[in-house]
Structure 1
């Protein structure tokens, strides 16, 4: 069996290592445009901020290690064409410019995602950078050494992490986003507000509700960012607007969503026989809504890559779906979320209910304590859990993993309220904060039902 893999980051690495173990007689060929593999882009901000001093630590696999597994690594090779019907691909050696046709029995597409780059006038100026791969990280580090003022465009996870890193490095930082608050895709307003205040208190210039319309500079280097409502001087810009599936190569070959995400079934099979896809380049089953979604996360990618290997010869292991679970630490704020936010649940058409617990996490007699704020989102008709968020100065992010499992198993708020969690004063109270969230939801549901039963007063 001859297997061709295009792309080797999270999904590709997981697929390749598992396939090499499961099919030792297979002839595996990997095509990667970069000269490295398996880069943890989520560590870029840690590298920029000096938390990680050795960038080699951001790689968790190596070409040499792959070759020792018997895999043929074609680094700095760009795939120019694929013919999924005749099972061939055309690859160009970027060092020699030689083009070669390769055949395959199975094709695994793990081309990942690429930063969204709107056609903003002036985007070709120097010091306007993307933030995705190892080369981007090195370029950002190098240019930031000579920059006094830095602008980050995009207030998602990567943007916020970079803002923190630049601010702690003593830079004058401006954050620009078209939304009126940060992290709006992941957290509701009561969770983003304290993080936003911490950024403002540290001098970050928060330019929210404004869209970049032009970059201006002299001698080819950016000097100003013009928005819909102002202009801001800067020495460099990092674009962190978001990501899109890197799938242009496969248009017309396999079915896709409008945004280019490759549609796969629960066994990672595309619309074309013997062609599989995994990771940021494709859709993933989304349990809170029961549909498919585009959620580019490393955790999703490694699961999907592993599933490709298991299902390569025949479908044996189905994808259980995802909740889009993620976490973040900014300054003293440790936060995580899973599933739908309250706003997203309403937009999805659910009759949405919420319950919030904000309390010390340990009994009052304990010598030290911390406040935990936990919110669950549920469907008021079925009482099924849809999402959850947590924030604290202590680390309670693992509780979101528990709630991710609860959503995946379609637990109700009543089941959460009465679920068995241990008690020990060092860690929690007799009613665990997860139980308390379920109990609060039950109380809210009961109060809502009572309101509906009230008879209007006589006039």
Structure 2
């Protein structure tokens, strides 16, 4: 069996390693246009901020490691076209310019995503950078050394982590986003209000509800960001607007979402039987809504890549879908979320309710007892849990993994009230805060419908 893999980051590495293990006799060839593989892009802010001193720790595989498994890795090779009907691809060696054709029995598409680059006046100016891969991170670090005023455009996870990193390195930082809240796709206002206050207290300038309209420069370098409502002097701009799947190679050959994300079934198989996809290049089932969605997360990518290998010859293990579970640490706050925010659920047209509690996470007689802010969103009629968010000075983020499982298994908010959690004063109260949220959401006995056993 001849297997061709296009792209080698999270999903690609997982697919390659597991394919080599599952099918020792397979002939596996990897095409990667960059000069490195398996870079943990979620660690860029840590690298930029100096928390991670050695960037080599952000790589978890290498061409040599893959070679030891019998995999041929063609670095700095760009696949220029794919013909799924004839099972051929064309590739170009970026160092020599040589072009050649290769064949495959199975094709694994793990081409990932690329930052969205707005078509704005001045976008070509120097010192306007992207933030996605290892080379980007090195360029950001090098150019940030020589400037004091930095602007980040986009207040998602990467943007917020970057402004924190720059501020901790003594820079003057401005964060711009067209939405009126930071992290609005991940958290409700109860959380974003507090995080925004924390950023402001650390001297970060928030410019929210304003859309960038153009960039102005001096001597070829960016010097000003102009928005729909103001102008902001700067010496360096980092674009963190979002990501788009890189799937042009298969356009018109497999089914895709409007944004180009490849649609796969539960076994990671595209509409073309011998073409599989995983990671940021494809869409997945979002369990809170039951719909197909584009959710580019490293956790989704490694799971999907592993499943590609397991299902490459025949269907064996079905994908369970995702809750889009994620976490972030901003200064002293540990934050995580899973599933739908209340705002997102309403936008979906769902009829939901939410319960929010803020309480000491363990007994107050203990030497310290930090507060935890927990919000759980559930459907009004079915009582099914569809989302949750947590925030605390102490790291309680693993509780969101518990609620991710609850959503996965269609648990109700009433069931959450009585789930068996251990009690030990070092860690929690007799009623765990997850139980407490469920208890608070219980309807009164007069409201409850009769239960038929």
TM-score, normalized by the shorter chain, greater than 0.5:
yes
The one-character-per-residue Cα deviations of 1:212-238 (angstroms, maximum 9, x if unpaired) are: 000000221100000000111100100
What is residue 453 of structure 1 aligned with on the other side?
none
Report the secondary structure of 1:273's partner residue.
coil
- Give the distance between the partners of 1:88 and 1:219, measured in 2 at CA: 47
- Give the distance between the partners of 2:86 and 2:332, measured in 1 at CA: 55
What is residue 352 of structure 1 aligned with on the other side?
352
Give TM-score scaled by structure 2 length. Answer: 0.98
What is residue 433 of structure 1 aligned with on the other side?
433
Are 2:444 and 1:446 equivalent residues in the alignment? yes
- Give the distance between the partners of 1:165 and 1:82, measured in 2 at CA: 41
- Give the distance between the partners of 2:106 and 2:361, measured in 1 at CA: 52
- Mapping 1:45-84, distance limit 5 Å: 45-84=45-84
What is residue 143 of structure 1 aligned with on the other side?
143
Q: How many positions carry a matched residue from both structures?
A: 448
Q: 1:301 to 1:198 in 2, by over 3 A?
A: same
- Mapping 1:313-392, distance limit 5 Å: 313-392=313-392
- Mapping 1:280-295, distance limit 5 Å: 280-295=280-295
What is residue 87 of structure 1 aligned with on the other side?
87
- Give the distance between the partners of 1:440 and 1:375, measured in 2 at CA: 11
What is residue 37 of structure 1 aligned with on the other side?
37
The one-character-per-residue Cα deviations of 1:283-326 (angstroms, maximum 9, x if unpaired) are: 11111011111000000000000000000001111000100000
- Give the distance between the partners of 2:364 and 2:62, measured in 1 at CA: 50
- Give the distance between the partners of 2:367 and 2:215, measured in 1 at CA: 54
Report the secondary structure of 1:446's partner residue.
coil
Query: How far has the Cα of 1:194 moved from its partner?
Result: 1.0
Query: How far has the Cα of 1:425 moved from its partner?
Result: 0.5
- Mapping 1:54-453, distance limit 5 Å: 54-442=54-442, 445-446=443-444, 449=447
> Which blocks of at least 5 consecutive residues in structure 2 are unaligned?
449-453
- Give the distance between the partners of 1:338 and 1:178, measured in 2 at CA: 24
Query: How far has the Cα of 1:447 moved from its partner?
Result: 9.0
- Give the distance between the partners of 1:446 and 1:336, measured in 2 at CA: 30
The one-character-per-residue Cα deviations of 1:153-193 (angstroms, maximum 9, x if unpaired) are: 00000000000000010101010000011000000000111
- Give the distance between the partners of 1:220 and 1:249, measured in 2 at CA: 34
Query: How far has the Cα of 1:446 moved from its partner?
Result: 3.5
Query: How far has the Cα of 1:351 moved from its partner?
Result: 1.1
Query: How far has the Cα of 1:414 moved from its partner?
Result: 1.3
- Give the distance between the partners of 1:233 and 1:446, measured in 2 at CA: 57
- Give the distance between the partners of 1:14 and 1:210, measured in 2 at CA: 39
Report the secondary structure of 2:263's partner residue.
coil
Report the secondary structure of 1:283's partner residue.
strand
* Farther off after superposition, 98-107 or 350-359: 350-359
Report the secondary structure of 2:366's partner residue.
coil
Report the secondary structure of 1:353's partner residue.
strand
- Give the distance between the partners of 2:113 and 2:289, measured in 1 at CA: 23
Query: How far has the Cα of 1:378 moved from its partner?
Result: 0.1
The one-character-per-residue Cα deviations of 1:336-366 (angstroms, maximum 9, x if unpaired) are: 0000000011111221110111001111211
Q: CA RMSD in A?
A: 1.0
- Give the distance between the partners of 1:422 and 1:6, measured in 2 at CA: 46
After TM superposition, the runs of 4+ consecutive aligned structure 1 residues lying more than 3 A away are: 445-450
Query: How far has the Cα of 1:273 moved from its partner?
Result: 1.5
- Give the distance between the partners of 2:41 and 2:441, measured in 1 at CA: 38
